[in-house]
């Protein structure tokens, strides 16, 4: 069969900065299909124009669209345009947003099928000619009724999966996750060493399958890196697991295998690691294996709020992890969420104080967005507290307040983010880190405009102490 996959994105937003990386979900599905002898094309709208979709429709029998929440409405537009242009093959939607909101996704888009959770085996079933109505993991609308087949079991070991077929993408158009740590021309090799996460943080998307963690063997990961190196010459890698060190022994095994194989790579861990699962041995092995940057998901500097978010981290554990990364020379960024439903004026102030107390190399403060498929989203929806007019409003940076916060207003949250980011940017530590690593200094200089816009640090004018308003009418 002939398949075309599309990664939904905002047409007007095609980045000149090369910060995007190839979507591995499509890469994996393409690998399964190609292995079974089918023809697969892909258009990634992060780096390509929508016209490329229409130009690639020749002979296509099924279109699969991969969707994250904030690009859902772009996917809806694409479905309509495909139909208007006369495509009458099946259109199947998938990805985290669709898994979380399958019925709404089908009703709002008019697509034929929605895939819940992972799509590799689902697509093989389609390719084998099975009707969607008989495929486990598939949903559809029939006579106005939402119908859903049972979930799949996903028992196949990850080591038996083919490596993602990234050749379906225009690889020269991509860049690196870590624009500040590497030279502008760097392209990342993207690796998923595991699927799923055993933790239950309430702001994070989870489906029934990825509550369970599945791991690849260290040997299998090394083999993929070797292949990427040989074929594409990547030297820098991003391991984009939900949580790289969710299993600390496995994280050590992977680093050790990279060291033993003398791969001579560098890598970063863009997603939040667990601070309570970092020890001296792991930080040392990470460094030896080539890790240049690691991020820690702190989320709140108020242990009570961290507990309510189900993050359950102690400040001591975070400080310890940061010190270990610093000791071993790994650049460490701490992620914080501002304006979580559980945040109070005091907890937000505490987050700002973390800049002084934690001593991470960099900080990233972003506003809380209730992500469909996360426990927080489900809770807010149940309680009737969501205030979402369009999924286009979803963005970690400068997003609208998408729910009724009992205490904080949108302005409170945005100004606290601004203050925190200002404090984080203008520190001796930042200066020292930049002076020690000229590439960081150069990147900051190069991207000054974007960084300013992102952190809104140009918008001074508010006193440095937080003057919060109360939003009692909305409570
Ligand atoms: C890399 C990544 C990104 C990358 C690009 C996405 C990409 N390349 O796929 C970037 C940086 C763009 C990104 C952005 C965002 N991300 Co992100 N990201 C990820 C991350 C870490 C890995 C994605 C990945 O490669 N997964 C591995 C592959 C194998 O899984 P997959 O992509 O889900 O695909 C499988 C299934 O979903 C399904 N599938 C997917 N597409 C399709 C299509 C069809 C037709 C079918 C049948 C099946 C199918 O089958 C695939 C194979 O099994 C995930 C976490 C995770 N573990 O997935 C978060 C994740 C996808 N991101 C998430 C979020 C929330 C975001 C943001 C929207 C955050 C925000 N609110 O701003 C931002 C958008 C930022 C912005 N302002 O633009 C959530 C998604 C929740 C949601 N409801 O959409 C996740 C799940 C993190 C989390 N646990 O909360 N992200």
Alpha helices by DSSP H, listed for 154-237, are 218-232
Candidate from 78, 95, 135 with most ligand 1 atoms within 8 A of CB, to mutate: 95
Q: Whose CA is nearest to atom 12 of ligand 1?
A: 20
Proportion of the chain in helix, strand, coil states, percent, rounded to 5: 40, 15, 40
For residue 463, the CA-to-ligand 1 centroid distance in Å is 38
Q: What percent of the chain has pLDDT above 70? A: 91
In whole angstroms, what is the distance from residue 62 CA to residue 79 CA? 12
Mutate which of 25, 193, 197, 297 for ligand 1? The one with the most ligand atoms within 8 Å of its CB, which is 25
Q: Per residue in 189-222, pLDDT tens?
A: 999 999 999 999 999 998 888 888 999 999 999 9
Q: What pLDDT, on a 0 to 100 scale, did the predictor assign at position 454?
A: 55
pLDDT of residue 176: 86
Summarised one tens digit per residue, pLDDT across range 350-378 is 999 999 999 999 999 999 999 999 999 99
Task: State the distance from the centre of ligand 1 to the C-alpha of 63, rounded, in angstroms.
Answer: 19
Say whether domain 175-426 belongs to CATH 3.20.20.70: yes
Residue nearest atom 88 in ligand 1 by C-alpha distance: 205
DSSP character for 338? E
Instruction: Name residue, tokens 């196949």.
Output: 156
pLDDT band at 470 (very low <50, low <70, confident <90, very high): very low
Counting Cα atoms < 13 Å in the Cβ hemisphere of 149 gives: 18
Look at ligand 1, atom 62, and give the residue with the nearest C-alpha. Answer: 68
Shortest-distance atom of ligand 1 to CA 196: 57
Question: What stretch of H or E contains 189?
Answer: strand 188-191
The model's pLDDT over 152-187, given as tens digits with 9 standing for 90+, comes to 988 899 999 999 999 999 999 998 887 788 887 889
Provide the residue ranges of all domains of the chain, joining segments of one domain with +: 2-10+20-149, 175-426
Looking at ligand 1, which atom is closest to the CA of residue 99?
37
Per-residue model confidence (pLDDT) at position 460 = 34
Closest CA to 65 of 14, 108, 19, 17: 108
Name 23's Cβ contacts closer than 8 Å, sequence gap at least 6.
7, 44, 46, 66, 169
Contacts for 105 with CB less than 8 Å, ≥ 6 apart: 67, 72, 93, 97, 98, 111, 114
214-218, 307-311, 331-335, 431-435: lowest mean pLDDT where?
Answer: 431-435
pLDDT tens-digit series, residues 28-72: 999 999 999 999 999 999 999 999 999 999 999 999 999 999 899
Answer positive or negative: Cα dihedral of 50, 402, 211, 19: positive
* pLDDT(472) > 50: no
Q: What is the pLDDT of residue 12?
A: 58
pTM of the model: 0.93
pLDDT tier for residue 462 given thresholds of 50, 70 and 90: very low
pLDDT confidence of residue 469: 34
What is the structure's pLDDT at 461?
A: 30
**Centre of ligand 1 from the C-alpha of residue 205, in Å:** 9
Q: Does the pLDDT at position 17 exceed 90?
A: no
Highest mean pLDDT (candidates 15-24, 31-40, 397-406): 31-40
Encode pLDDT of 69-90 as tens digits. Answer: 989 999 999 999 999 999 999 9
* CA 474 to centroid of ligand 1, rounded, Å: 32
The strand pairing partners of 44, in sequence order, are: 7
Atom 10 of ligand 1, residue of closest alpha carbon: 20
Judge whether residue 395 has pLDDT over 80. no
Would the pLDDT of 468 be above 50?
no
Dist. CA 117 → ligand 1 center (Å): 11
Indicate which atom in ligand 1 lies nearest the CA of residue 93.
45
SS3 281: helix
Q: Please give the mean pLDDT across all residues of the chain.
A: 90
Round to whole Å and give the CA distance between 155 and 148.
Answer: 21
What fold is seen in the domain 2-10+20-149?
A: Rossmann fold (3.40.50)
Determine the pLDDT at residue 396. Answer: 60
For ligand 1, which residues put their CB under 6 angstroms from it? Answer: 21, 23-25, 28-29, 64-66, 68-70, 92-97, 100, 115, 118-120, 122-123, 192, 204-205, 240, 242, 271, 369, 371-373, 394-396
Ligand 1: atom nearest CA of 67 is: 41
* Index of the ligand 1 atom closest to the CA of residue 70: 68
**Contact (CB, 8 A) for 164 and 31:** yes
Which ligand 1 atom sits closest to the C-alpha of 206? 89
Distance 96 CA to ligand 1 centre (A): 6
**pLDDT of 103-119, one tens digit each?**
999 999 999 999 999 99
């Amino acid at each position: 069969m002939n398949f075309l996959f599309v990664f939904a994105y905002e047409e007007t937003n095609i980045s000149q900065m090369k910060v995007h990386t190839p979507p591995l979900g499509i890469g994996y599905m393409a690998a399964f299909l190609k292995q079974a002898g089918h023809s697969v094309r892909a258009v990634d709208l992060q780096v390509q124009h929508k016209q490329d979709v229409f130009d690639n429709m020749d002979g296509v029998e099924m279109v699969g669209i991969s969707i994250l929440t904030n690009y859902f409405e772009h996917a809806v537009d694409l479905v309509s345009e495909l139909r208007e242009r006369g495509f009458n093959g099946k259109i199947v939607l998938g990805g985290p947003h669709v898994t979380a909101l399958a019925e709404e996704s089908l009703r709002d888009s008019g697509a034929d099928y929605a895939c819940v959770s992972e799509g590799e085996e689902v697509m093989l079933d389609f390719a084998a000619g099975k009707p969607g109505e008989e495929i486990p993991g598939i949903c559809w609308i029939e006579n106005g009724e939402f119908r859903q087949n049972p979930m799949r079991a996903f028992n196949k070991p990850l080591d038996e999966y083919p490596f993602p077929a990234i050749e379906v993408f225009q690889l020269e158009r991509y860049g690196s996750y870590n624009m500040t740590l590497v030279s502008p021309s760097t392209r990342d090799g993207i690796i998923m060493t595991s699927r799923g996460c055993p933790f239950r943080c309430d702001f994070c998307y989870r489906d029934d399958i990825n509550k369970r963690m599945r791991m690849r063997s260290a040997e299998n990961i090394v083999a993929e890196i070797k292949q990427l190196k040989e074929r594409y010459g990547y030297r820098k890698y991003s391991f984009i697991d939900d949580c790289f060190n969710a299993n600390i022994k496995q994280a050590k095994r992977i680093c050790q295998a990279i060291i033993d194989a003398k791969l001579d790579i560098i890598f970063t861990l863009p997603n939040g690691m667990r601070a309570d699962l970092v020890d001296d041995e792991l930080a040392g092995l990470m460094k030896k294996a080539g890790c240049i940057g690691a991020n820690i998901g702190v989320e709140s500097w108020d242990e009570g709020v961290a507990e309510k978010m189900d993050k359950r981290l102690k400040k001591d554990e975070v400080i310890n992890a940061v010190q270990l990364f610093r000791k071993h020379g790994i650049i460490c960024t701490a992620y914080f969420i501002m304006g979580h439903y559980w945040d109070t004026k005091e907890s937000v102030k505490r987050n700002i104080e973390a800049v002084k107390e934690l001593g991470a190399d960099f900080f990233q403060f972003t506003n809380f967005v209730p992500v469909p498929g996360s426990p927080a989203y489900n809770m807010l929806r149940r309680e009737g507290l969501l205030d979402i007019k369009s999924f286009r409003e979803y963005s970690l940076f400068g997003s609208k307040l998408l729910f009724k916060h009992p205490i904080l207003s949108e302005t409170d949250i945005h100004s606290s983010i601004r203050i925190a980011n200002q404090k984080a940017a203008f520190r001796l530590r930042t200066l020292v880190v930049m002076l020690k690593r000229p590439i960081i200094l150069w990147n900051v200089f190069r991207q000054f405009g974007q960084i300013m816009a992102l952190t809104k640090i140009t918008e001074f004018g508010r006193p440095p102490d937080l003057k919060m308003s109360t939003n009692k009418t909305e409570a």
